[in-house]
Amino acid sequence: MKNAGYQSGMVGLAASIGLVLSAQVHADTDYDALKAQVEVLQKQLEEVQEQLIAQEKESVSREDMRQLEKEVAKSSEWRSPNTLIHMAGYGDVGYEKTDGDGDDGSFKVGNFAPIFHFQYRDLVMLEAELEITVEDDGETDTELEYMTIDYFMNDYVTLVGGKFLSPVGQFRQNIHPSWINKMASAPPGFGHDGAAPVSDVGFQLRGGLPTFANVRTSYAIYVSNGPTLNFEDGGLEGIDAEGFNKDADGDKVFGGRFAILPVSSLEIGLSGATGKAAVNRDDGESIDIKDEGNRDYDVYGADFSYELRSLDVGWFQGLGFRGEYVKSKVGSTETGMAASAGADWSTWYTQAAYRIPLTQFEGVVRYTDFDSAVDSADQEQWALGINYLFSNNFIGKLNYEWNDGIDKDSSADSNRFLFQLAYGF
């Protein structure tokens, strides 16, 4: 089209020149005047030629650019890499003061937990979390919180193998990171020797079923090595369910969780597990299964979470509730050196949080009741907190815990003040 315009311009100028010459000849005008006009027209013709050439060069340059963009778009080396590497994690620091200590409390480095993801296409991903903590004596302790290889079978099923956070309940697998947990501590019963299992080593299938009538679901089904039971002073002291690399009794634990989301702001889940558990002596050594036998081990629980998100609720927007109940039960035995009656551990908590509109402040209140097989560990707790959200992943917390335990000289009966800064990345 540009060449056609060029030719049209040339024809127009040539016609103009012809008309001028004809007019001048018929009018018997002066030759010099005619020559001057021809020179002016020639100059205009040269300017038009230069403009057309410049436009042609610009057109070529744009075409080259478009061609280059097409070649880059075809290159999958950087736009669609086969392997993705990603690092995330969290860390927290703070201060803790226990009533009755007679001192000014202590500053704390809670933990540093880097999380690594290595994914190959949409086929497989390795994920792992390290938990690095500083002990009271200054020693650094490093543990593998979890490490799994995840095989994405299809849109609804992922096969997970390795050490994974327990699918029983919500807190351990989803809420426990300090930058997500709205309190500076875990609810009693959700830690070591608590009612809720911490982690497992085995395999699980997890995912979600296809959406039906706008109702979403999620599930996890797993098989893992069994936990061990701590036996001391003639009785069972606690359940150690923190993901062992060896199954002491050879019997596996089977369990899972199923959750339904009838609306986007509400989730209701049911959990359970059953199997066998081996017994440890108070020195930590496993008792010979041939002499002792093993114990029945059962866990069941329920959880919910609800958050008001709609703008229609006005000042109630930002109000959220969650709660969870977990019970672990161990059978009895009448033979062996660890003969004892059965025991159970149960805990439940409910929590309410409210983000004050148009501010970065958030109020939190939590109630927990932990019933242990060991009376001195029983604990009823009220916790009140005020949070400041610097950003979605950086939070400051001020908490106070009122603890009521049977043993008045134990930590389960000591009130605490906690301050924490938590950052997720």
DSSP string spanning 19-79? HHHHHHHHHT--HHHHHHHHHHHHHHHHHHHHHHHHHHHHHHHHHHHHHHHHHHHH-HHHH
**CA separation for the pair 386, 7 (Å, rounded):** 79
Q: How many domains is the chain partitioned into structurally?
A: 2
CB burial readout 177-199, b (16+ within 10 A) else e? bbbebbbbbbbbbbbebbbbbbb
Which pTM was predicted?
0.77
Decide if 297 contacts 322 (C-beta within 8 A).
no
Both tokens of 209, joined, read 């079923």
- The answer to whether 215 touches 268, Cβ cutoff 8 Å, is no
Residue 300 lies in a domain: yes
pLDDT tens by residue, 92-119: 999 999 987 677 899 999 999 999 999 9
Cβ count near 357 (within 10 Å) = 11
> Is there a single domain that holds both residue 235 and residue 186?
yes
Whether residue 69 is found in the same domain as residue 211 = no
The residue type found at 305 is S
Segment among 26-30, 63-67, 135-139, 305-309 with least mean pLDDT = 26-30
pLDDT digits (tens, 9 = 90+) for 242-298: 999 988 778 899 999 999 999 989 999 999 999 999 887 655 555 665 556 688 999
Distance of CA 156 to the CA centre of its chain: 19
- What domain range includes position 182? 90-424
What would the two tokens of residue 312 be? Answer: 């229609």
Report yes or no on 354 lying in a domain.
Answer: yes
- Residues 382 and 369: their CA atoms lie apart, in Å, by 9
Name the residue among 86, 87, 145, 89 with its Cα closest to residue 422: 89
Q: Which of 27, 53, 76 is the last residue of a domain?
A: 76
Count of CB atoms situated within 10 Å of the CB of 210: 8
Asked if residue 253 is part of any domain, the answer here is yes
Are residue 104 and residue 17 in the same domain, yes or no?
no
Q: Please give the helix or strand (H or E) that residue 18 lies within, else none.
A: helix 2-27
**Cα 307 to Cα 310: distance, rounded to the nearest angstrom:** 9
Residue 121 within a domain:
yes
Residues 62 and 109 placed together within one structural domain of the fold: no
| Stronger pLDDT, 158 or 13, i.e. the higher one | 158
pLDDT in the model for residue 104: 86
Structure tokens at 114: 């880097």
- The whole-angstrom separation of Cα 376 and Cα 335 is 27
Pair 104, 246 in one domain: yes
Same domain assignment for residues 310 and 371:
yes
Residue 131 has a pLDDT of 96
157 and 115 share one domain: yes
Looking at the fold, whether 356 and 240 belong to one and the same domain comes out as: yes
Quick one: 126 and 178 in the same domain?
yes
CATH number at residue 383: 2.40.160.10
Percent of the chain with pLDDT over 90: 57
35 and 112 share one domain: no
Strands 83-98 and 394-404: unpaired
Query: Could you tell me if residue 83 is inside a domain?
Result: no
Considering the domain boundaries, does residue 84 fall inside one? no
Domain end among 44, 76, 108? 76
Determine the pLDDT at residue 40. Answer: 77
The pLDDT-based confidence of 389 (bands split at 50, 70, 90) is very high
Say how far residue 212 (Cα) sits from the centre of its chain: 25
Residue 160 lies in a domain: yes
85 in a structural domain: no
**How far lies 282's CA from each of 109, 244, 245, 338, in Å?**
30, 18, 20, 10
Do 206 and 132 fall into the same domain?
Answer: yes
117 and 204 together in one domain: yes
Q: What is the largest CA-CA distance in the chain?
A: 138
> Crossing angle, helix 2-27 and helix 31-74, to 10 degrees?
180
Which range scores top for mean pLDDT: 17-31, 268-282, 348-362? 348-362
Boundary-marking domain end, from 50, 76, 102:
76
pLDDT of residue 285: 59
Hey, what are 235's tokens?
A: 């009785």
The more confident residue out of 1 and 406 is 406
Give the tokens for residue 271.
């959990």
Confidence (pLDDT) at 349: 98
Q: Report the distance separating Cα 159 and Cα 153, nearest Å.
A: 7
Question: How high is the pLDDT of residue 341?
Answer: 79
Instruction: Provide the pLDDT for residue 66.
Output: 75
What pLDDT was estimated at residue 127? 97
Per the prediction, the chain carries an average pLDDT of 85
Terminal C-alpha separation, the chain: 56
In our burial notation (b when 16+ CB lie closer than 10 A, e otherwise), range 121-152 reads eeeebebbbbeeeeeeeeeeeeeebbbbebee
DSSP 8-state symbol, 8: H
Contact 245, 215 (CB under 8 A): no
Residue 320 has a pLDDT of 95
Q: Is the dihedral of CA 56, 57, 62, 65 positive or negative?
A: positive
State the pLDDT confidence band at 20, using cuts at 50, 70 and 90: very low
Spatial CB neighbours of 262, under 8 Å, sequence gap ≥ 6: 215, 268
